[in-house]
Amino acid sequence: MAVDMKMPILIVDDYKTMLRIVRNLLQKLGFSDIDEAMDGTDALAKLKGRRYGLVISDWNMQPMTGYELLQKVRADDSLKSLPFVMVTAESKVENVVAARQAGVNNYIIKPFSAEVLKAKLKTVLGDF
Partner 1 sequence: MAETGKLDLVERLTNECIDLCRSVLRGRKLIDPLVDPAFRTERLKRALDEQKTAIGEMEMAVDRIMSAVERIGEIDFSARADAGEQIASCCEEIMEACCFQDITGQRLTHVMGTLGDVRKGLDELAGGRQSANASPAASGLLNGPALPGDAMEQDAVDKLLASGGK
Q: Are 86 and 99 in contact (CB under 8 A)?
A: yes
Site string for partner 1, 11-50 (x = CB under 8 A): --x-x-xx-xx--xx--x----------------------
Cα–Cα distance for residue pair 88/59, rounded to 1 Å: 6
Element (H, E) at 102: helix 93-102
Q: Nearer Cβ to partner 1, position 43 or 99?
A: 99
Cα–Cα distance for residue pair 59/27, rounded to 1 Å: 22
Q: Which of 91, 66, 70, 93 is nearest to 80 (CA)?
A: 70
Residue 96, amino acid: V
Does the footprint of partner 1 cover residue 110 (CB under 8 A)? Answer: yes
Contact with partner 1 (CB under 8 A) among 32, 91, 126, 128? 91
Q: Nearer Cβ to partner 1, position 79 or 112?
A: 112
Query: Footprint of partner 1 on this chain (CB under 8 A)?
Result: 13, 15, 17-18, 20-21, 24-25, 28, 58-60, 65, 67, 89-101, 104, 106-114, 116
